[in-house]
Amino acid sequence: MQVKNTKQRKHIISILKDASRPMSINEIYDAIISELPRIAKSTIYRNIDQLFEQDLIEKHHFNDNEIFYLYKENNDEHTHFIICDECKRTYSLPSCPIHEIEDYIKAEGFTIKNHQIQITGICKSCAYNHLKK
Amino acid sequence: MQVKNTKQRKHIISILKDASRPMSINEIYDAIISELPRIAKSTIYRNIDQLFEQDLIEKHHFNDNEIFYLYKENNDEHTHFIICDECKRTYSLPSCPIHEIEDYIKAEGFTIKNHQIQITGICKSCAYNHLKK
DNA sequence: GTAAGTGCAAAATGTTTGCATTTCT
DNA sequence: AGAAATGCAAACATTTTGCACTTAC
């Protein structure tokens, strides 16, 4: 099945590429609607599904039901992030912790397709600000 | 606000306590329906919300929208899970990969409050079923 | 007795699907 | 021209809400 490079698709990709953080369907929709006022949300769903199938984007779950999508190219070195609950700044991890247990998982006959890590807490500078108060 | 120990609540808690893996709303519903045929799903939603507020259960997201709930008491040893994209069965990890990098994170002055891991893929038996076809 | 919780139905959300039409190639 | 994608509306699925009734305390 051949993928066609429609203007809707181009817009969606360009929005995801420009984003420095994972975006939800609604955020993508809001970002695109001014340029393509007639775009249907189903078009975004279908494109997102396709981009995921093509392994061009990754899914990120944060708090609740909403799923956020990140263009993989923007996460080349396979970085994971820790997020400060207060200032929402992200800090990257020096390595992928999953790597450590990959062999075990493989040995169990499980093939990893995807993985995600969320670490939240309080960063150094927010903790410091607390002390000052 | 006082929490009442209704039979619905007791059943939900007992199902979660008996479960060795995180369960979805539908799984809880299916497990309970034979004993309480008139229970409404909204009752389960409301109880789950309450249990979460009370910090008795934790939420686990895997790849798609469904959220799975695990009784905290059952996860004392701090287990993480991997889930098969196909059969949705969960398998537990032998150790917490975050532990490995905890020292690094602490050294950076970051205090971890919470963390989550999602690993998805295809399990041994689903892969085997593919081969047979 | 009273506040909290339940069941039910309806509403609100979020996602998917069918189909006629349009757009890429 | 033909396959793939779109927009729209309707279908589906999931979660939340309003309300009269029931239950735990």
Residues of B with CB under 8 A from a CB of A: 61, 63, 65, 67, 82, 84-85, 91, 93-95, 97-98, 100-101, 104-105, 108-124, 127
How far apart are alpha carbons A86 and A123 in whole angstroms? 8
CATH 3.40.50.170 fits B80-133, yes or no: no
pLDDT for residue A63 is more than 60: no
Over chain B (133 residues), what is each successive 10-residue block's mean pLDDT? 93 93 91 94 96 87 76 75 76 83 88 79 83 70
Same fold across B1-73 and B80-133: no
Residue matched to tokens 């944060």: A62
Q: Which nucleotide is nearest to A64 (CA to C1')?
A: D15
- Closest chain B C-alpha to A20 CA, distance in angstroms: 21
pLDDT for residue A88 is more than 60: no
Nearest to B35 by CA among B57, B10, B70, B4: B10
How far apart are alpha carbons B32 and B27 in whole angstroms? 9
| CATH classification code of A1-73 | 1.10.10.10
Maximum CA extent, chain B: 56
How far apart are alpha carbons B67 and A124 in whole angstroms? 32
Q: For strand B81-84 and strand B111-122, is the pairing parallel, antiparallel, or unpaired? A: parallel
Q: For strand A23-24 and strand A67-71, is the pairing parallel, antiparallel, or unpaired? A: antiparallel
Burial classification of residue B127, based on how many CB atoms lie within 10 Å of its CB (0-12 exposed, 13-18 middle, 19 or more buried): middle
pLDDT for residue A99 is more than 90: no
Contacts of B109 in chain A (CB under 8 A): 123-124, 127
Q: Give the residue extent of every domain in chain A.
A: 1-73, 80-133
pTM: 0.73
